[in-house]
Structure 1
């Protein structure tokens, strides 16, 4: 079974996660047959390992992690690969893959441009 993890940085203020919760709700409404979990690098739960554990316990065998970051900064270049490798070691029978940061996708950048244009 395929599943997806939306992976964010995390913050001390719980309100910061509200758009992530909405994003997961949108995913569930549009892709009900593919489970989704949120995961955070720091300061918020669940962690990446906790999210993978949850999906695997639900039967997931192929998990794609989508870093909801604007770009590939130090966290995605240094911290994230270590977390992903640890999950791969813990779940060797699960196919764990990751996309680039969402902010590197042209359609995401265009959506931001369109958002700005609508505000004029």
Structure 2
């Protein structure tokens, strides 16, 4: 089984965290071969390590981690890779792939351009 974990910062605002959960549900509907969930760096649960643990406990042999972040700040460059690397050493038999963060995703400029109305 493959798992996809959508990684977000987390917020004190519950509605913001629910938006991330809703996005994970939308991804799950589009990716039937994956067990999709959301995880948070801080301020909400589950945290990233716990979400990875759950995916492995549910039988994931491959875990893809998708940072739902727009820029390569400290969390994207340092914090998330450190958490993933620690879990990799704990689960050596499980393939873990940290995907590019949202802002670096191919096609992002095209996506943003499509949001801009070109006619008055």
Measured in 2, the distance between the counterparts of 1:89 and 1:118 equals: 49
Within-5 A mapping of 1:40-79: 40-79=40-79
Task: Give TM-score scaled by structure 2 length.
Answer: 0.90
Structure 2 residues without counterparts, runs of 5 or longer: none
Q: Indicate conservation of the 8 Å contact 1:11/1:43, yes or no.
A: yes
Identify the range of structure 1 (17-26 vs 44-53) with the bigger mean alpha-carbon deviation.
17-26
Displacement of 1:105 after TM fit?
1.8
Per the alignment, residue 32 of structure 2 pairs with 32
CA displacement, residues 36-72 of structure 1 (integer Å, 9 cap, x when unaligned): 1111111111111111111111110111101010011
Task: Give TM-score scaled by structure 1 length.
Answer: 0.90
Displacement of 1:115 after TM fit?
1.6
Q: Indicate conservation of the 8 Å contact 1:61/1:93, yes or no.
A: yes
**Structure 1 segments (4+ residues) deviating >6 Å:** none
Identify the range of structure 1 (110-119 vs 73-82) with the bigger mean alpha-carbon deviation.
110-119
Per the alignment, residue 14 of structure 1 pairs with 14
Partner-residue secondary structure (3-state), 2:117: helix
The answer on 1:117 being equivalent to 2:97 is no
What is the aligned residue count?
120
More helix, by proportion: 1
Structure 1 residues without counterparts, runs of 5 or longer: none
Measured in 2, the distance between the counterparts of 1:68 and 1:119 equals: 30
